[in-house]
Amino acid sequence: MHRTTLFLVALCLVSHGLLCPGSATADDWPQWRGPTRDGEWKETGIVDRFASEQLAIKWRVPVGAGYSGPTVADGRVYLTDRETEPEQIERIHCFNEQTGEVIWSVSYPAVYTISYKAGPRAAVTIEGGRAYALGAMGDLYCLDAASGELKWKHDLKQLYEIQMPIWGIAAAPLIVEDVVILQAGGRQACIVALDKLTGVPRWKALDEKASYSSPVLVQHAGQPVVVCWTGESVSGLAPATGKVHWRYDFPPSRMPIGIATPVVHENEIFVTSFYDGSLMLRLGEQVSSVSQVWRLVGENERETRGLHSIISTPVRLGDHVYGVDSFGELRCLEAASGKRIWEDLTATPRSRWSTIHFVRNGKRIWMFNERGELIISELSPQGFKEISRAALIAPTLNQLNQRNGVCWAHPAFANRHVFIRNDKELVCASLAK
């Protein structure tokens, strides 16, 4: 290639932030809680502070109601929602990442028999050019991510005789090697795996009720293990076969209500529930070994110990856990014991089930609270340090018809932008420095 041509190509790449020594890095957000499902956002070139009290919106598009957060991959944004007129349907949407223009939409009948009927819960998982979407009533679709062409689908209610949880099916699909792993809540099939290319069932495990918590992949004793928090246990399964390597009994005091994703740090796993408090487990040297480090449960939902989270997945930073308690109390716990180090009431208003979604970017923690505010912060044993806060999207009433509505969906952080939905629209705002 001619030297001048090479220079022009390089100049073009630099202008788009794709090539430059020490340049900012950009990443997609292809599944629940980011590329590695751990709420870590590794992009650079991000703003240090917001320029105003309201983030400038790059684009906005109308959508229906739903709890599911957006995902972003290969220049496209994916989201699910629900419509009730003239019939009850769920929809899977694909939008242009730069403009918000609709690329394709797929809809199917979905009559809800569950509580909190705003819409689908699970984020769409994008992997290998395919989109895996799971509806609240157990409708599983595998679509071509670029065109929306149907590859395969299943009605999990019939396939696995689902014992439908009161709030529906919520856990986002997890892809491990050649299988898609789901928390389905079927009879003798709480956790199931299907061939990701054909949809053919591969294995099923655990005769337990389902929770709403998404499974995560860890390395334990040199082996891949899928950690699943069901309605009755925290268990470690072999992703290829469904073999139960270990199981820790964690029955609910009232009902299965686990929503937060298990938080994994080195060889420790932390889960937290609104009614049943906090549990810290430690993985042993053998793949079959797990033990309790500590468990803390308060007297009730107001008089809590440790952390009684409902929707928020906590964040683990070194020797401490940070999360939101039952009425919106932002807390720091000592990871070794569960001892409360501090509590703060300014990050989200004090209300029952008040929520913050945490995303880590370097030394900073980005928080999206249920009022639709985005907060840049630092968390340490010394306290919560708010650096900057701006409004991003308005709360709406479908998800919760109280306190002037909420924003409970999880945002996506991709390519130096933030994407978030309420019950009326999906918006995109730049976070580039």
Instruction: Please answer whether residues 182 and 171 qualify as being in contact, where contact means their C-beta atoms are separated by less than 8 angstroms.
Output: yes
Could you tell me the residue range of the domain that residue 230 belongs to? 23-430
Distance of CA 221 to the CA centre of its chain: 26
CA dihedral 309, 314, 317, 319 (to 10 degrees): 30
Tell me whether residue 17 is in a domain: no
Q: Is 361 helix (H, G, I), strand (E, B) or coil?
A: strand
Which residues contact residue 164 at a Cβ distance below 8 angstroms, ignoring those fewer than 6 apart? Answer: 113, 114, 137, 138, 157, 185
Instruction: Please answer whether residues 276 and 260 qualify as being in contact, where contact means their C-beta atoms are separated by less than 8 angstroms.
Output: no
Indicate the number of domains in the chain: 1
Is the Cα dihedral 367, 369, 375, 379 positive or negative?
Answer: negative
Tell me whether residue 127 is in a domain: yes
Q: How many angstroms separate the CA atoms of 380 and 3, rounded?
A: 51
For residue 272, give the nearest of 319, 305, 248 by alpha carbon. 305
Please tell me the pTM assigned to this model: 0.94
Return the number of other C-beta atoms located less than 10 Å from residue 194's C-beta.
Answer: 26
Tell me whether residue 5 is in a domain: no
For residue 190, give the nearest of 217, 161, 218, 158 by alpha carbon. 161
Tell me whether residue 195 is in a domain: yes
Which residues contact residue 258 at a Cβ distance below 8 angstroms, ignoring those fewer than 6 apart? Answer: 211, 212, 213, 229, 230, 231, 252, 271, 273
Q: How many angstroms separate the CA atoms of 272 and 164, rounded?
A: 22
Q: How many angstroms separate the CA atoms of 276 and 259, rounded?
A: 12
- Can you spell out the DSSP letters for 258-296? --SPPEEETTEEEEEETTTEEEEEEE-SSTT-EEEEEEE
Burial class for 282, CB neighbours closer than 10 Å (0-12, 13-18, 19+): middle
Per-residue confidence (pLDDT) for residue 24, from 0 to 100:
66
CATH code for the domain of 130:
2.130.10.10
Bridge-based pairing state of the strands 290-296 and 330-334: unpaired
Tell me whether residue 13 is in a domain: no
Per-residue confidence (pLDDT) for residue 26, from 0 to 100:
85
Tell me whether residue 376 is in a domain: yes
Q: How many angstroms separate the CA atoms of 311 and 234, rounded?
A: 18
Burial 148-180 (b: 16+ CB within 10 A, else e): beebbebebbebbebbebebbbbbbbbbbeebb
DSSP state, residue 400 = -
- Full pLDDT tens readout for the chain, 433 residues: 443 333 333 333 333 334 343 456 789 999 999 999 999 999 999 999 999 999 999 999 999 999 999 999 999 999 999 999 999 999 999 999 999 999 999 999 999 999 999 999 999 999 999 999 999 999 999 999 999 999 999 999 999 999 999 999 999 999 999 999 999 999 999 999 999 999 999 999 999 999 999 999 999 999 999 999 999 999 999 999 999 999 999 999 999 999 999 999 999 999 999 999 999 999 999 999 999 999 999 999 999 999 999 999 999 999 999 999 999 999 999 999 999 999 999 999 999 999 999 999 999 999 999 999 999 999 999 999 999 999 999 999 999 999 999 999 999 999 999 999 999 999 999 999 9
DSSP state, residue 97 = T
Q: How many CA atoms lie within 13 A of 237 on its CB side?
A: 29
Tell me whether residue 52 is in a domain: yes
Q: Which residues is 265 bridged to in the sheet?
A: 268
Burial class for 86, CB neighbours closer than 10 Å (0-12, 13-18, 19+): exposed
Which residues contact residue 325 at a Cβ distance below 8 angstroms, ignoring those fewer than 6 apart? Answer: 304, 307, 308, 309, 331, 343
Tell me whether residue 10 is in a domain: no
Burial class for 117, CB neighbours closer than 10 Å (0-12, 13-18, 19+): middle
Q: How many angstroms separate the CA atoms of 124 and 74, rounded?
A: 14
Q: Which residues is 365 bridged to in the sheet?
A: 360, 377
Q: Which residues is 80 bridged to in the sheet?
A: 92
Residue for token digits 């809809």?
107
